[in-house]
Chain A
Amino acid sequence: MRKKIIYLVEDDADISEMIQYLLSSMGGEVSACLTAEMFWKQMKVKLPDLIILDIMLPDGNGADIGEQLALDDSTEHIPILFMSANHSFRLPEQLSKNQFISKPFDINVFSDKVESLLVE
């Protein structure tokens, strides 16, 4: 089975590094983006199997990016795991097939969510 491609959009370098380690150890191929701009560039190169998206980004909002992806037929199917330090964040209706995890998180719960999204 080929390695799953995972795009990680997270502006905090330390969190990003920690998650990259975690995903790599799970056997994923991770591309980390610190900004929304970098993410969209990356999307033009190749489409991933999973996107892990922080809500609060320096140049955008993760929820807006998610909605844009949902509106595009070519990206609509890609599962997304949203992350935010705002634990009362709720996914909007049209993104409800995706998952959300609040920061800080238990890496076991995180891993479970990633795996469940990749299986789907």
Chain B
Amino acid sequence: MPVKYRSSPQSDVATLFHDSRLAFYTCDRNGYITYYNKAAAALWGREPVIGEELWCGSWKIYYPGGRVMPLDECPMALTLKQQPLPADNEIVIERPDSTFLNLLVYPQPLFDANGLLTGALNILVDITPKKTGEEKQAILSAIVESSDDAIISKSLKGIIMSWNKGAQKLFGYTEDEIIGKPITVLIPPELQEEETVIIGNIKAGNKIDHFRTTRITKWGKKVKISLTVSPVKDNMGRIIGASKIARDITEQLQKEEAIKLNSQRLELLNAIGKKVSASLDEDSILELITTDTANITGAAVGAFVYNMLDEHGQANQLTAVFGAPKEALENSGLFTPEFLNSTLIRVDDITKDSRYGKKAPQEVGGNGQPVITSYLAVPVETVSGEILGGLFFGHPEPGKFTAEHENIVSSIASQASVALNNCRLFTQVKNLSEKKDEFIALASHELKTPITSIKGYLQILQRSDLDKAGTLFLEKSLNQINKLNSLIGDLLDVSKVEAGKLTIQYESFDLKELVLDVIETFHYSSKTHKITFSSSADQIFVEADKQRIEQVLINLLSNAIKYSPNAELVVVELNASENEAKLSVKDKGIGLSEQHQKNIFTRFYRADGNENISGLGLGLYLSKEIILHHRGTIDVISEPGKGSTFYFSLPVKHQV
């Protein structure tokens, strides 16, 4: 790009100035720039317009501290105004590309032969690289000085050359004490060899990263450190020494150790917790916990004494033992929950303990058996503070149990308490549920007794001469008695299904015959509906519980009649394929919505909007259970307002 310089002397000298690496420019008396050379334009990063721009070609100017310098206060302006210059002739300029330069400026006024000011010359010296280097050095020194890590440099002969505050803090020596001393004063006698290896590596130009070792302080205390050693080179690239960064990792190691211990403990507790919570049997929980905990603590003998409550609420002691016979541990007197009184006890030597000394020595099982010396007892409490029992451990050697063991056993004890509490709750629920089933069985038996005589007498009465009203009322009463009886039967059956005690008594019979018998009884009792029957086969033999299948048929037919109050016809079809007999009961009644169809086979479910139709909502639930027990299927197809078809299938019995 051609640059137009108004350089009046078109001479070799002018060209020399123009290409000079020394940057300079001139202004006239009024401050307008009259000339600048290539080097000046390069520093400014721009080309000011000659004769138009004032004082300086810089885009922006600052004082060294960063404060903006007004253009008419720049050194050139001050010179031309013949005002005194500041002692510091450094300025900072910003270039259009946002880079900064540190410049030293040397403005000189120019006078004519008469001594009149004609203008000024300004020389610009770029000192930016030098400044950056110095700053870096200062920053580095500050970092080294303020670092918590010990930063030391040493010569190849192992003589300490520099020593920061971190080093003083870590090793105790002051800078004055240690400079000039050999590095080996920091190395414990047994590790002196390490220095040879380190120096060998440094001489070979290798860096040593995060080497974990031990060093010794001024006071002889050993500290765990992580060491990084790098070679230090001179300007010529020769290795002249090493820099060492040492970090105190005592705390870090302790933390690591604690984390390791913690995670081991968690794993252990987790494993025990899994095993224990998988069981609802008290005996196996006690045994698991006793054995596992004894193994963890390294105990020779252990016991878990548990104050169990039996179903009558009577206290009953259960004991699981490890390492010794139950009687022997009981005789020692140290293995009773009364002994605990809700506090944990850990004794290094129980034989020397005044509290228990009377019972010493705690012989376990007589001759040759271990004597309890180390002793650990942990109460097993509920959340509410009730003592369920205790975990007891012993070892013939003193001081076997640590605080760590104490922690673990306490954690296990709380897990045990939760698990045992679950056992208790489970047993309680089981007992209650059994009682409920017993009650329902008893109640239904007792309810049936009066029904039997009522029904008998009503039927006997039916045989006598009655007027029309009497006949009708008797019939209605008998219907209600039958309904009451089937409700009682359903309640008993539901309780059996719940308890898993619904028994199926298989016999082989003709399903067609049974269906016809049941329809026959409906002809007597239902005057409102007509039931039609069709079947493709003469006989369909199934292996099933005849009474239960009859119950299902009665339920489906009663429902068909009950839920089709405005219809007259119920259609029953029975068909057999090679593997199954399929029966359907179709009504033209109120039908079921999709939602009802989904839930109709669940317990106590009743299609709502039918509150005027009586029932407990148990019939279809029981029917489903009965059919499923026979490995059959049961379902419904329905359309609201048009009617429902319930159908079930049973496996057929192949005649041999």
Interface residues of A (CB under 8 A from B): 12, 14-15, 17-19, 21-22, 25, 56, 85-88, 90, 103-108
A17-B453, A87-B547, A107-B459 are known contacts; what are 14 more A-B pairs with Cβ within 8 Å? A12-B449, A14-B450, A15-B452, A15-B453, A18-B456, A18-B457, A56-B445, A86-B445, A88-B503, A103-B449, A104-B451, A104-B452, A106-B455, A108-B459
Given contacts A87-B547, A88-B547, A104-B485, whether A14 and B453 have CB atoms under 8 Å apart is yes
The reply to whether the CB of B11 lies closer than 8 angstroms to some CB of chain A is: no
The reply to whether the CB of B198 lies closer than 8 angstroms to some CB of chain A is: no
B610 to chain A, nearest CB (A): 28
Chain A residues, Cβ within 8 Å of B453: 12, 14-15, 17-18
Chain B residues, Cβ within 8 Å of A90: 505
Pick the contact of A85 from B449, B454, B457 — CB < 8 Å? Answer: B449
A107 to B456, CA, bound (A): 6
Taking a contact as CB atoms under 8 Å apart, the answer to whether A104 and B481 are in contact is yes
Most buried by B among A56, A104, A105: A104
Chain A residues, Cβ within 8 Å of B454: 104
B554 to chain A, nearest CB (A): 12
The reply to whether the CB of B444 lies closer than 8 angstroms to some CB of chain A is: yes
Given contacts A14-B450, A90-B505, A104-B485, whether A85 and B444 have CB atoms under 8 Å apart is yes
Pick the contact of A15 from B449, B485, B547 — CB < 8 Å? Answer: B449
Nearest chain A residue, comparing its CB with the CB of B502: A88
Taking a contact as CB atoms under 8 Å apart, the answer to whether B459 and A106 are in contact is yes
Hey, what's the 0/1 contact readout for B448-480 against A, CB within 8 Å counting as 1? 111111111101100000000000000000000
Taking a contact as CB atoms under 8 Å apart, the answer to whether B460 and A21 are in contact is yes
Interface residues of B (CB under 8 A from A): 444-445, 448-457, 459-460, 481, 485, 489, 503, 505, 547
Chain B residues, Cβ within 8 Å of A22: 456, 460
Chain A residues, Cβ within 8 Å of B460: 18, 21-22, 25, 107
Given contacts A88-B547, A104-B481, whether A19 and B445 have CB atoms under 8 Å apart is no
Chain A residues, Cβ within 8 Å of B505: 88, 90
Pick the contact of B448 from A19, A21, A104, A107 — CB < 8 Å? Answer: A104
Most buried by A among B444, B448, B485: B448
A81 to chain B, nearest CB (A): 14
Chain B residues, Cβ within 8 Å of A21: 460
B623 to chain A, nearest CB (A): 16
Chain A residues, Cβ within 8 Å of B448: 85, 103-104
Nearest chain B residue, comparing its CB with the CB of A110: B456
A104 to B458, CA, bound (A): 12
Nearest chain B residue, comparing its CB with the CB of A17: B453
Chain A residues, Cβ within 8 Å of B547: 87-88
Pick the contact of B489 from A56, A87, A106 — CB < 8 Å? Answer: A87
Chain B residues, Cβ within 8 Å of A56: 445
Taking a contact as CB atoms under 8 Å apart, the answer to whether A19 and B503 are in contact is no
Taking a contact as CB atoms under 8 Å apart, the answer to whether B445 and A85 are in contact is yes
B557 to chain A, nearest CB (A): 17
A102 to chain B, nearest CB (A): 9
A53 to B331, CA, bound (A): 59
B48 to chain A, nearest CB (A): 115
Chain B residues, Cβ within 8 Å of A88: 503, 505, 547
B490 to chain A, nearest CB (A): 12
Pick the contact of A103 from B452, B459, B481, B503 — CB < 8 Å? Answer: B452
A15 to B453, CA, bound (A): 5
B492 to chain A, nearest CB (A): 9
Chain B residues, Cβ within 8 Å of A12: 449, 452-453
Taking a contact as CB atoms under 8 Å apart, the answer to whether B456 and A104 are in contact is yes
A32 to chain B, nearest CB (A): 14
Chain A residues, Cβ within 8 Å of B450: 14
A64 to chain B, nearest CB (A): 18
B464 to chain A, nearest CB (A): 11
Nearest chain B residue, comparing its CB with the CB of A13: B453
Chain B residues, Cβ within 8 Å of A85: 444-445, 448-449, 452
B543 to chain A, nearest CB (A): 15
Chain A residues, Cβ within 8 Å of B456: 15, 18-19, 22, 104-105, 107
Question: Can you list 27 A-B pairs with a CB-CB distance of less than 8 A?
Answer: A12-B452, A15-B449, A15-B453, A15-B456, A18-B457, A18-B460, A19-B456, A21-B460, A22-B460, A25-B460, A56-B445, A85-B445, A85-B448, A85-B452, A87-B489, A88-B503, A88-B505, A90-B505, A103-B451, A103-B452, A104-B452, A104-B454, A104-B481, A105-B452, A107-B455, A107-B456, A107-B459
Nearest 8 CB-CB pairings of A with B: A85-B448, A104-B452, A18-B456, A14-B453, A103-B452, A107-B459, A104-B455, A104-B451
A18 to B455, CA, bound (A): 10
Nearest chain B residue, comparing its CB with the CB of A85: B448
A116 to chain B, nearest CB (A): 17
B451 to chain A, nearest CB (A): 5
A6 to B452, CA, bound (A): 20
Nearest chain A residue, comparing its CB with the CB of B450: A14
A85 to B452, CA, bound (A): 9
A86 to B503, CA, bound (A): 13
Nearest chain B residue, comparing its CB with the CB of A86: B445
Chain B residues, Cβ within 8 Å of A15: 449, 452-453, 456
